[in-house]
Structure 1
Amino acid sequence: MTAIDVRSPRDSQLVGRLPASTTPEVSAALTTARSAWPGWAAAPAAERGAAVREAAASVRARADDLAAILEQETGRPLSSAREGVLAGASTLDQYAELGPVHRGRSLLGSAVDFMVPEPRGVVVALTPWNDPVAVACGLLGAALVTGNVVVHKPSERCPHTGLLLADVLAPSFPAGVLQTLVGDGEIGAALVGSPGVDLVAHVGSTATGRSIARASSAKLLLENGGNDPLLVDDDVDPVWAAEQAALGAFTNAGQLCTSVERIYVHEAIAPVFLDALCAKALEWNGDPQPLVDTRHRDFVHEQVADAVSFGARALTGGVVPSGPGAYYPATVLADCSADMRIMREETFGPIAPVQLVSSFDEGLAAACSGEYGLAATVLTASMEHAQVAWRALPVGTVKVNAVFGGAPGGAAQPRGASGTGFGYGPELLDEMTTTKVVHLGVPTGRS
């Protein structure tokens, strides 16, 4: 790839063209990073925290500019894009506070043993297009505040956003501590396969995550794809449950890492639930958001068409609209079954595929199936069912009675094909550091 063309998913107009980084530039960036690391690692923790705090203020000051280019490249509505940018600034502030108090442990006996967290070194961060500023700020903030240096490659679907973020962040740090390259998978592969990389942090597809695992000998921090289930018990209000399902499936056109991807609803409340879910889908379609590009829309529609060909019914949506842009309607699919691709694979679009179950246990067993282990949601009025579900679901995050939300600074640790390692919270600082154990004894044999 010699150049990156980005077209607006709203009207297909050219947003801009950028030269892609080259393999020699990859080597140069990593060499520069390695040279910058000793000085940055030796900087006092409070100094590093102050730099990250300054970077957070810069992101806030340029929030409108970042949101505007993010909207142009990804189609995310301006208000939502700005929320994502401000979330990124808040995350930087969080790590600016947590970094300087990140500490080890000690044991006192006849000698002293202490465990010291140290930076890993050169971090390669590969970030996605669906929430590019917030995700990048989390990974970069945690890496930098703990004394690592970073080479960042944003998704080729939002390179202008990535470069603007680099312009905003880089002045807060010494030269070489934070660098940004743009390009497609070829540049990403060159980065992760290079010797001298100490940690690779990736948020994106499972296929890319597996390629990274094969190519890199570095410490890996991976948040890959998900196929998050929503289990609806028969003792909840079906209209409220449908509102939760719509929120989980249609927010950001279904392009969130923890979007609801498959729904299991008890047959006793299914008719009311489906009617309410269709009504909510029509509301979402009144103010549609495009998918990131037509290539991704084709993939989403392919999964919908496959489900219909095997017996699913499109109660709403399911048709590619005419006109420019990468729009796809919020779609409700009934009569889905476990063998359909739409229930087995990540779709990453505004699709709500529904499978009926005859009992909570049947639904839980279905929700526990599959190779992914990112997150799951359970809607139930039964404390017993909630307890059984969160213990049984083989995922990193279980949400009970809310498809989104969580405590500030919450952590997440995916399982299975969804990745490995903590991606958020104070625990991310542990991932970005390695522990040195020091045994401090007292010399003997001399008077």
Structure 2
Amino acid sequence: MTTAAPDLADIEIRDPATDEVVGRVRPAGAGQVDDAVGRAVAASSGWARTSPGDRAGLVKDAAAAVRGVAEELARLNETETGRPYDDGLGGVLAAAGTLEQYAELGPLHRGRSLQGDWSATDLMVPGPRGVVAAITPWNDPVAVAAGLIGAALVTGNTVVHKPSERCPHLGRRFADLVASFLPDGVLTVVDGAGPTGALLSAHAAVDVVAHVGSIAAGRAIAEAAAGTGAKVLLENGGNDPLIVDDGVDPVWAAGQAALGSYANGGQVCVSVERIYCHAGVADEFLAALAEEATRWVHRPSAEGEKALGPLVDRRQREHVHAHVAEALQAGATAHVGGAVPDGPGAFYPATVLSGLTPRMRIVREETFGPVAPVRVVDSFEQGLAEAADDPHGLAATVLTPDMAHAQEAWRALRVGTVKINAAFGGAPGGAAEPRGLSGSGFGYGPELLDEMTATKTVHIEPCPPRHDR
């Protein structure tokens, strides 16, 4: 049972492009969290006994329904988080694809057997862990929720979902739609911010807490789980470096850096957060990057331009600008951007900085905004060493024509994903396991099915014949 109650004042949601109030939600308190978890517990046994094929069929039907309302969800995403419609639509369609993927993979998830003596067998059988608390973020809310919820459902778990308080209507619309295809209690939703998430993650009847969000929230969840025994899956964000090696085409490299830094306003878990550029290409790279930045615009984009929506809210803009202003005050140079624009909303321009030092906050911490901080280094080795000197461990990108450098980089960087010569990308079904402050556990791909299940070893021997006396 939960023991504390959060502040039950309504949460106000504003359109980050206009500052207009677009909704309010009442956060769930202890009683509502207890009720949601209780329903999940009550549904758990029946859902676990449902055949994998039947579970997968229901999830696949839900995926088709998500496709059917993709435009509605993308518009709602734009209204609540500011993500441009086309980008948001891509995220919703990716979510539907993820549900379909797990519907295919779920029935194929299997264990192993070991042969002992001729008459004995050991079975290693995966089974559902029970109740999964899925606590999801605002920056790609539908796609992330689809991954965690889909993997949990097809492996026989029930789910209580807490979407981000910054897009609660979107989160509830998606989850309620999926839940409409499932038995009662298999998927429930609770609204709220950090206090509600704390109640949910510390609930004694929750068996798994799967969280994508901040380092502070992830740390609090891990501490709570230490008391309840729940398994924890965390993706806490990162401070992802990009290394630009000597010999690359600086214009191409600038395009990759801009994409990595500015896509979704720099509000992607694996956004480029800091750039180490070899001095041999630095001048051309910085000029090309500054030109690229001017193509990311807040108005409807024309040919050759890309839409840059607002940040999720003004609080996030204040955080981003504090990093930039502190760097400028300490001697950095803004080639483009770096100032808060006039007018409504939470817009911030695509920004390019240089003249950075390793200890600046914009280098050491996650900014999560459309900022490309460039540090010029004398060698690939220096860039790699500085990129690796970081307690986060989510992802990294290396742009290099030298495959020996690529090989050294992917081995030396203590992160879950290393991308060589591409800021984004990866095969469908790919998985990653963050390190350090960035979290723990696989959050995507077939490996997430393993995370959502517990393996039970069963040793079987025949009973000896009865000897009548």
Give TM class, smaller chain: over 0.9
Match among 324, 344, 348 for residue 324 of structure 1: 344
2:438 equivalent in structure 1: 418
Match among 28, 32, 53 for residue 25 of structure 1: 32
Cα-to-partner distance string for 1:262-317 (whole Å, 9 max, x where unaligned): 00000111000000000000111364310000000000000001111111111110
State whether structure 2 residue 170 is matched by structure 1 residue 161. yes
Contact 2:298-2:309 within 8 A present in 1 as well: no
Give the TM-score, by structure 2 length. 0.94
1:129 equivalent in structure 2: 138
State whether structure 2 residue 453 is matched by structure 1 residue 433. yes
What's the CA shift for 1:443?
Answer: 2.4
Cα-to-partner distance string for 1:77-102 (whole Å, 9 max, x where unaligned): 11111110000000000000000010
1:106 equivalent in structure 2: 113
| Structure 2, unaligned runs of 5 or more | 1-7, 300-307
Q: Distance in 2 between matches of 1:253 and 1:286?
A: 10
Which amino acid counterpart does residue 195 of structure 1 have in structure 2? Answer: A
Match among 209, 219, 222 for residue 213 of structure 1: 222
Percent identity of equivalent pairs: 60
Contact 2:81-2:166 within 8 A present in 1 as well: yes
1:407 equivalent in structure 2: 427
Cα-to-partner distance string for 1:146-205 (whole Å, 9 max, x where unaligned): 000000000000001011112211111000000001001010000011111100000001
Q: Secondary structure at the match of 1:314?
A: strand
Q: Secondary structure at the match of 2:295?
A: helix
Q: Distance in 1 between matches of 2:148 and 2:370?
A: 27
Q: Distance in 1 between matches of 2:98 and 2:237?
A: 22
2:376 equivalent in structure 1: 356
Give the TM-score, by structure 1 length. 0.99
For the aligned residue pairs, the C-alpha RMSD in angstroms reads 0.9
Which amino acid counterpart does residue 142 of structure 1 have in structure 2? Answer: A
2:5 equivalent in structure 1: none
State whether structure 2 residue 279 is matched by structure 1 residue 267. yes
1:198 equivalent in structure 2: 207
2:365 equivalent in structure 1: 345
What's the CA shift for 1:445?
Answer: 5.8
Q: Kindly tell me the number of residue pairs found equivalent between the two proteins.
A: 447
State whether structure 2 residue 246 is matched by structure 1 residue 234. yes
Match among 51, 68, 71 for residue 44 of structure 1: 51
1:87 equivalent in structure 2: 94
Cα-to-partner distance string for 1:333-384 (whole Å, 9 max, x where unaligned): 0111110000000000000000011001000001101110000000000010
Which amino acid counterpart does residue 180 of structure 2 have in structure 1? Answer: P
Q: Distance in 2 between matches of 1:35 and 1:423?
A: 26
Q: Distance in 2 between matches of 1:293 and 1:204?
A: 16
Q: Distance in 2 between matches of 1:245 and 1:118?
A: 43
State whether structure 2 residue 186 is matched by structure 1 residue 174. no
Which amino acid counterpart does residue 241 of structure 1 have in structure 2? Answer: A
2:313 equivalent in structure 1: 293
Q: Distance in 1 between matches of 2:350 and 2:378?
A: 26
Cα-to-partner distance string for 1:23-71 (whole Å, 9 max, x where unaligned): 2000111111111100000000100000110110110011111111111
What's the CA shift for 1:324?
Answer: 0.1
Contact 2:298-2:347 within 8 A present in 1 as well: no
Q: Distance in 1 between matches of 2:326 and 2:465?
A: 79
Q: Distance in 2 between matches of 1:116 and 1:166?
A: 29
Q: Distance in 1 between matches of 2:74 and 2:61?
A: 19
Which amino acid counterpart does residue 148 of structure 1 have in structure 2? Answer: N
2:408 equivalent in structure 1: 388
Cα-to-partner distance string for 1:112-168 (whole Å, 9 max, x where unaligned): 011000000000000000000000000000000000000000000000101111221
1:118 equivalent in structure 2: 127
Q: Distance in 2 between matches of 1:182 and 1:2?
A: 12
1:149 equivalent in structure 2: 158
Contact 2:251-2:288 within 8 A present in 1 as well: yes
Q: Distance in 2 between matches of 1:249 and 1:63?
A: 26
Q: Distance in 1 between matches of 2:357 and 2:241?
A: 13
Q: Distance in 2 between matches of 1:126 and 1:82?
A: 22
Q: Distance in 2 between matches of 1:329 and 1:98?
A: 42
Match among 42, 63, 67 for residue 60 of structure 1: 67
Q: Secondary structure at the match of 1:58?
A: helix
State whether structure 2 residue 244 is matched by structure 1 residue 244. no
Which amino acid counterpart does residue 363 of structure 1 have in structure 2? Answer: G
Q: Secondary structure at the match of 1:256?
A: coil
Contact 1:62-1:168 within 8 A present in 2 as well: no
Q: Distance in 1 between matches of 2:235 and 2:49?
A: 30
Q: Distance in 2 between matches of 1:393 and 1:119?
A: 34
Q: Distance in 2 between matches of 1:374 and 1:286?
A: 29
What's the CA shift for 1:4?
Answer: 1.5
Q: Distance in 2 between matches of 1:250 and 1:393?
A: 23
Q: Distance in 1 between matches of 2:387 and 2:109?
A: 37
Match among 15, 19, 38 for residue 22 of structure 2: 15
2:4 equivalent in structure 1: none
State whether structure 2 residue 268 is matched by structure 1 residue 256. yes
